[in-house]
Chain A
Amino acid sequence: MGNPDVVTIRELSKVYRQGEINVTALNRISLDIQAGEFLTLMGPSGSGKSTLLHIIAGVDRPTSGECRVQGIDVARLSESELADWRNQNVGFVFQTFNLIPVLTAFENVELPLLLTRLRGKQRRQQVDTTLELVGLADRKHHLPKQLSGGQEQRVAIARALVTDPTLIVADEPTGNLDSHSAQEVLGILQALSRNAAKTVIMVTHDPKAAAFGSRTIHLEKGELVA
């Protein structure tokens, strides 16, 4: 018997309105993602992979269908409930890192914890542990501009991990990195899936990056392919 499903998607559709035209980004997708799985989403530009990722992560809402994460239909949550849910359950890793430039690596990682009830000392311990996990304990007082791209992305991964979320969603996390840094980042994501039982969903164009995943699904014109 496999791991339980963390994400259950049924008949999920997303239609955008662009002027007079309706654009179907996702067309009746059904998908299950198990706990601890490292799922990679591949497909050409405009295939709907980022839209699917955003809906799973609770930053976008479907037009129809259902997306349950740990049994919760995220589309039915209010804006405030969704914000809390994201803070507790989802870690984001973006292509362009999206660290706050005026904050140090430590402060960037601490940011999501400001929304929790943890005290200062507990927060600091948690941040230190997470930065150690990504191998950046010695760079914690550096500003993003003082870090390399690979290091910035590792800080971003630490920020995604620090609240101990169920899901880690990564949108082209290696898109702005050289091959060495990309390998490091993918290695960390793979380790999180294998060793920490985190469910990682990653969008990528790169088949080499997709090879780090435990399963790859392809999207084309908003539909799952094979």
Chain B
Amino acid sequence: MTIGSFILKNALRNKRRAALSILSVAVSCALLVTLLTLQRELTIPPESEAASLRVIARNKVSLTQPLPAKQLAILDKIPGIVAVSPFSFFGGNFREETVTSFAQFAVDPARFQGLLVEGKIVEGSYDSFIKNRTSCFVGADTIKRYGLKIGDKMRFTGTFFPVNLDLEIAAVFQGTVDDRGVFFHHKLLDELMGDPGTVGTWYLRVASAEVANDVISRINKAFENTAAEVRAETERAFQMSFIRMLGNVKLLIGSISSVVVFTLLLVTVSTMSMAIRERFRELAVLKALGFRRRDLFGFILAESFGLAAIGAFIGIGGAWAMWTLSDLQKLTNGFLIYFEVTTRIIATGASIAALLGIISAILPSIAVSRMSVVEGLKTLD
């Protein structure tokens, strides 16, 4: 027998309780990892270098207010801007769907090409997209999800605009932060809408990250005191403003995660306290045999840590496997794209479980440490 096997035998002496404890830790860890992954999914802004070079200019009053198309001429003259395109959210429902599963944007294809830095064409050609006014440029995820191919038709029922779109797939892109979008000719939207002379937003790329703030200031200044003042911001800031519209997601998920962790703490502390209380007299005997306080603390800690570690392994591993192997994009109708259980999230979950294992050993250890051998032995008779 070794100290290790002695600890193991003690930990598994009540197999049902050990299994239930492990299960409760596993479920809590899985829930925690899922919440952290969800928080990341909902709050992660585009983090590529290219995203920091892209700027979105929208109506200062509200994102829903359009901007005059004639602003383009002024934007073209602002130094530091290397590409600019109209960028209007269409918000249509694909085929028979009743929700907008992925975004569609009206762009100027020729100008938009200058904004595509990370993405690459994986099927078709961008030229054919430019040349065909009713064509579209589609993300690979959407192509895969709906089993589409070059030349297929895509029909969108307008929900935001009172028109429908019939588009033909000309090219497929991949490698952007979100490979689901569909881009089509702004001219087509203008025609369908009776040429209102407006755009939703301006999407532009600046020469370098160093000049981005200057360019943003120049854009905002250029339209100051006009009928359509603009608010320019980086793509990252723009995305974050959407997240803010959801409310304080971080706080909400953080609060739920805290409750999960606290519950987990109660479960592990309660389990360990019960397990040790039942063994008070045995621990007194061990003390009498010559085991020191630190030895007993080591036994309790190892047992508590072991149960937490096994639970964490099952829970975190299970959550990782579940979210990695399932097609969440499809299951959530495109609401969740990546839902990636990152190494950092795994490490956070494992650290919390380890910490709980340690904390839950402290209270029983203090009780055992305070217990004299005589007191412990008295519980026998």
Q: Which residues from chain A sit less than 8 Å from chain B, CB to CB?
A: 54, 57, 59-60, 79-80, 83-84, 86-88, 92, 94-96, 98, 100-103, 106-107, 110-112, 114-115, 159
Contact = CB atoms under 8 A, between A and B. Distances in A.
B108 interface: no
Nearest to A169: B288
Contacts of A84: 290, 292
Interface string B225-243: 0000000000000000000
B47 to A, nearest CB: 53
Contacts, number: 74
Contact of A59 (B2, B6, B282, B372): B372
Q: Which 6 A-B pairs give the minimum distances between C-beta atoms?
A: A87-B290, A59-B373, A102-B9, A83-B292, A98-B285, A102-B13
A194 to B, nearest CB: 25
A107 B373 CA distance: 22
A114 B3 CA distance: 7
B374 A112 contact: no
Contact of A60 (B9, B285, B373, B381): B373
Interface SS of chain A? helix
A94 B377 contact: yes
A95 B9 CA distance: 25
B282 A100 contact: yes
Contacts of B2: 114
B374 A80 contact: no
Contact of B6 (A94, A103, A112): A103
B292 A111 contact: no
Interface of B: 1-3, 6, 9-10, 12-13, 281-282, 285-293, 295, 372-374, 377, 380-381
B292 A80 contact: yes
Contact of B374 (A54, A79, A107): A54
B289 A94 contact: no
Given A84-B290, A114-B1, A96 B381 contact: yes
Nearest to B289: A112
Given A60-B372, A98-B281, A114-B3, A92 B381 contact: no
B6 A114 contact: yes
Contact of B288 (A86, A100, A103, A106): A86
A45 to B, nearest CB: 11
A98 B290 contact: no
A130 to B, nearest CB: 14
Contact of A88 (B287, B288, B290, B291): B290
15 contacts: A59-B287, A59-B373, A79-B292, A83-B293, A87-B289, A87-B290, A88-B290, A92-B288, A98-B285, A98-B380, A106-B1, A111-B286, A111-B289, A114-B2, A115-B295
A98 B373 CA distance: 13
A95 B252 CA distance: 58
Contacts of A114: 1-3, 6
B290 A59 contact: no
A112 to B, nearest CB: 5
A187 B377 CA distance: 25
A69 to B, nearest CB: 15
Nearest to B376: A59
Given A83-B290, A114-B6, 18 more contacts: A57-B288, A59-B373, A80-B293, A83-B287, A88-B290, A100-B282, A100-B285, A101-B13, A102-B9, A102-B12, A103-B9, A106-B1, A107-B6, A110-B1, A111-B1, A111-B6, A111-B286, A114-B2
B10 A86 contact: no
Contacts of B372: 59-60
Contacts of B377: 59, 94, 98
A79 B1 contact: no
A209 to B, nearest CB: 17
Nearest to A172: B381
A92 B373 CA distance: 12
A59 B13 contact: no
A96 B1 CA distance: 24
